[in-house]
Every structure is written in structure tokens, then in C-alpha cells.
Amino acid sequence: MAGAETIVGEREAGASRYAWYVLSVLFLVYVLNFVDRQIISILAEDIKRDLGLKDQDLGFLYGTAFGVFYSLFGIPLGRLADNWHRVRLMTIGLSLWSVMTALSGFSRTGGHLAAARIGVGIGEATASPSAYSIISDYFPKRLRATALSIYSAGLYVGGGCSLFIGGLIVQGWNRAYPGGGPLGLVGWQAAFMAVGLPGLLLAIWIATLREPIRGLVEGLPEPEKHPAPFRAFGAELVTIVPPLTLIGAAMGGARALGYNILALAVVTAAVSGLVAAGEPWPQWVAIGIGVYAVFSWASALKRRDPPTFALIVGTPAFLCTVVAYGLNAFLSYAASFWAAPYALRELGATPASAGFMIGSLGATAGFLGLTIGGVVSDRLRRGNPAGRLWVVIFGAVVPVPFLILAFTASSSTAFYTGIFLAQLTASCALGAAAATTQDMVLPRMRGTATATFFIGTTLIGLALGPYMAGRVSTLTGSLSIGMLSLLVVTPITLACAVAAYRLAPRAEATREVRARAAGEVV
């Protein structure tokens, strides 16, 4: 109990030294998370050439193949993070995605690479539900957005490192082995292996971290441990993994099964219509699977855990925050992925130079934006429960002119300036949005809330943004037009952020009351 007493004693003063140590290790995990996720951007041109792909295929590989399954498994894994040992869960997930990243290096077709990307997505789905919950139990509410912003800065630092490292490896390998190196590997394949294998060492480090006591930092009683966390995880899988979802729905009765079949029919009809209209089937089948799976899960959550459903799916402020940041990510993910191909195609940059410039500028901009945004949002919250959402509103509007500057640029100076300023201003919103959603739920629900939050940044942002830019680029022959076409979502982003600002104070103030009304013992 010594550790617990230390946390209680320091709750008013701030976070303990060990809390900051844990945060630094989790930051490294998130850096590697995005190295493995983002490296495909700097390798895209070589992959496109060697595997005979189109821009829309690259968008699918980067975003949809990864993002849909990241979302799909993020929900049950978030539930497992709420019920089981979060440090162990993260250790297992890190090991899985590191192996799958390395296996990407043996891909010989687009299908092989898509399968590996799916595996990376499933493994990475363990990271943020576990990390957000751990951080929220080590840091008091007044420091939570700052801590989450520092952790989230790994997104940009990792993305930047991936471009720099990937560019150096692919260019150096191809020069040294123009006809293919050991095992017949070319540069982009060697790069995947080089960044994947070190994750196994970091997994060993993660395994040494101490598991915090849930809710102690807020003075709440420790919730009872779930008697069978893996049985609950299995039950969660049945609610979200098609076609097992039909079994899960049937367990809820004839009415639940009927609604589930109706939802499946509607999604199937929508996907069939898009494919019949000439849209590529892999993209929309994957999106359809994701949408149907999320509907099935939400329906099951309402039956099995009404308090969690009420504070997440049943809270408009929560949903508006998720959609607002998801649409922010729609632009951000697309810009992050297509920046390197744009520099190589339109500006004549080499992989090493483009990787260094985009990577270093992106890492700097992202780290500064997230850190400043987190600190500012925490200060804004002191006088206003919805104050953090001003930063989300800022992140929805201010990056737009900088994106236009970058993706219409004909000079390197204009392009890199636009990319830097766009990422600096867009990244401010992440910590603010994440902390806002965490404040709307009870401690035992944080893993599930985090998984739900990341549905917005994956199904809306990652699975659609890069693909839509690539699809328009394929149809028009212009990557610039592909990127600029995405700006049509800006008014919707702003509307959702403003709605969240208006609704958030009441949602947070009434969370315990609404949880009790739904059956929670608080």
C-alpha cells in the first residue's frame, strides 16, 4: 500500500516522479506505434511501382486496412483494459504489432501487405486504451490534458522518425543493392523489418511498469476486480466481430436480432450500391464491416452495461467531441500520408531529403502543438468546464489555409512551411479532445471511452481521409486536387466542435447522476 499512500499524498500537489517516468515510457511506445504505422508513407512510391498499385490502393493500405481493424478490435481490447492488467495487455499488443510490421517486409502483393497491415492494426489497438487509462490513474484531473498531450505527441514524433528513418533506409538500400539485397529484399521491404524488430525490446521494458490503482488519484474507491476478464473479452468479441455479431445479437433476444439483421441489410445495400456505381470493393466492404460492427457493439453495450452506454453513446457531448476530432483527423491523416509522395512527385525530392524535412518538421510541429495545446486547454478548463473545446475549435479552422498553401506549392519552401504550420495548429486539438471525453465518464469506463474516441480518428479519419484523397487523385490525376477536395468537411467539423462546447458542462456535471439512473453503484 506504500505506492497507494504516495499517490494519495501527492494527489493535491501533483503527479509523482514515478508517474512522469511511466509517462515517458508510454511516450516511447506511442512513438514506435506511429513509426510502424506511418513508415509506409515514405515507402509509398516504391511500393506503388513494385506492386503495381494506384493512389487509391495506397490510401487503402495506409488507412482503411489498418484503421477498420484497429477500430474493430479497439473496442473489446478497451473493455479488456478496463477489466484486466493494462501493462500486460500493452506488452502483448506491442509484441504483436512489431512482428507484423517486420512481416510486412516479406510482402510480394498488395494483398500480402494488406494482411500484415491488418495485423499491425489489431496489435496497436491495445496501446491507447491501456495508456489513456494508466495515465488517467497516475495524473490528477488538472494535469490530465497535459499528460495525455505529452503521450499523444508520440504520434508526431513517431511519424517524423518513421519518414526520416524510412527515407534513409530505402534510399541507401536501393543504392547498395539495386537488384535486390539479401533474401531478395528491396529497400522498402528492408525498412519495414528494420523498424519492426526493435519493438520486441521495448515490450520487455513495458512489462516492468507498475499497474496503478484505478480511481485512487481522484479519491474514488477502488472498483472490484472483474472475476473473469477474458470471458468478458470473449463476450465483447461476439458483439463486434462479424459474423459472430449475429450470435451476440441473438443472445439479446428476438428483437435485438431483428434490429441487427436490419442494420446488416442496410449496410450491405449501401456497400452494394457503391460497388455497383464503380467504387473499389475492398474499401467499401471494409468500411461496411466497420460500421456494422460498431452498431452491433453499441447495441450490445446498451443491453449489458447501461451505465457505460449512457455516459458514452448516450451522451451527445461525447459523440460531438469524437466526431469533431475525427474530422480533424480526416484531414490530418491524409496530409501526413500524402505529404511525402507530393514532395517526391511534384518537387523532385529524394526519399532521404523528403523524409528528413517532413519528418523533422512534423515531429517538431506535432510535439509543440500537442504540448502547448494541452497546457492551454488545461488552463482554459479552470474557469470553464468546456474550456478545452476552444482548442478543438481552433484546430478545426486554423490549419485550413496552411493545407491549401502546402498542397498547391510549387516550391519546397512554401510546401514545407505549409506542412509545418498545418501540423502545428491541427495537433493542438488532440489532447484537449481526449481529456474532454475522459472527464465525461467514470474511471472504470475510461478504456472503453478511449476505444470509442479512437473510432472517430480511425473510421472517420484514418480509414476515409487518406483513401478519399487517393481516390480523387486516381480519378483526376492530381494529388493536389485529391487533398484539397477533403476541405469540404471543415464546416461540419466546426459545427460539431461548437455543439460539444455547449453540451459538455452539463454532461460532466451530471455524469454520476446519469450513471446511477442507468444502474451504476457510485
User: Could you write out the three-class secondary structure of 311-349?
Assistant: HCCCCHHHHHHHHHHHHHHHHHHHHHHHHHHHHHHHCCC
CATH fold of 2-215+229-517, please?
Growth Hormone; Chain: A; (1.20.1250)
Residue 114, all three cell numbers: 494488406
Residue 101, all three cell numbers: 510490421
pLDDT for the residue 14: 66
Hey, how many other C-beta atoms are within 10 angstroms of the C-beta on 205? Answer: 13
pLDDT for the residue 30: 95
Q: How far apart are CA 407 and CA 402, in angstroms?
A: 9
Whole-angstrom Cα Rg for the chain: 22
**Consecutive H or E run containing 391:** helix 389-397
pLDDT for the residue 184: 84
CA distances from 344 to 41, 42, 433 (A): 11, 9, 33
CA 238 from centroid of its chain's CA atoms:
23
CB 518 within 8 A of CB 451: no
CB 287 within 8 A of CB 68: yes
CB 423 within 8 A of CB 332: yes
CB 327 within 8 A of CB 489: yes
Alpha-carbon dihedral 92, 94, 97, 102, rounded to 10 degrees: -110
pLDDT for the residue 521: 84
Tell me the H-state helices in 63-218. Answer: 65-83, 86-104, 110-124, 127-138, 141-152, 154-176, 187-196, 199-206
Q: How far apart are CA 206 and CA 391, in angstroms?
A: 32
CB 467 within 8 A of CB 63: yes
How would DSSP label each residue in 256-288? HHHHHHHHHHHHHHHHHHHHHTT--HHHHHHHH
Q: Return the exposure string of 134-153: e unless at least 16 CB atoms fall within 10 Å of the residue's CB, then b.
A: bbbbbbbeebbbbbbbbbbb
Residue 76, all three cell numbers: 473489446
Q: Judge residue 246's burial from the number of C-beta atoms within 10 Å of its C-beta, 0-12 exposed, 13-18 middle, 19 or more buried.
A: middle
pLDDT for the residue 8: 47
pLDDT for the residue 137: 87
pLDDT for the residue 4: 46
CA distances from 339 to 91, 163, 201, 475, 479 (A): 32, 10, 31, 19, 10
Q: How far apart are CA 355 and CA 344, in angstroms?
A: 10
**Consecutive H or E run containing 506:** helix 490-509
pLDDT in single tens digits along all 522 residues of the chain: 444 444 444 444 567 889 999 999 999 999 999 999 999 999 999 999 999 999 999 999 999 999 999 888 887 888 888 888 899 999 999 999 999 999 999 998 999 999 999 999 999 999 988 998 899 888 888 788 788 878 888 887 898 899 999 999 999 999 999 888 888 899 999 999 999 999 999 999 999 999 888 777 776 766 777 778 888 888 888 998 898 999 999 999 999 999 999 999 999 999 999 999 999 999 999 999 999 999 998 999 899 899 999 999 999 999 999 999 999 999 999 999 999 999 999 999 999 999 999 999 988 998 899 889 988 998 999 888 899 999 999 999 999 999 999 999 999 999 999 999 999 999 999 889 999 999 999 988 887 888 788 888 889 999 999 999 999 999 999 999 999 999 999 999 999 999 999 999 999 999 999 999 999 986
Number of H helices and number of E strands within the chain? Answer: 28, 0
Which of helix, strand or coil describes residue 126? Answer: coil
> Would you give the end-to-end CA distance of the chain in angstroms?
23
339's CB contacts (< 8 A; 6+ apart) are 41, 358, 362, 406, 419
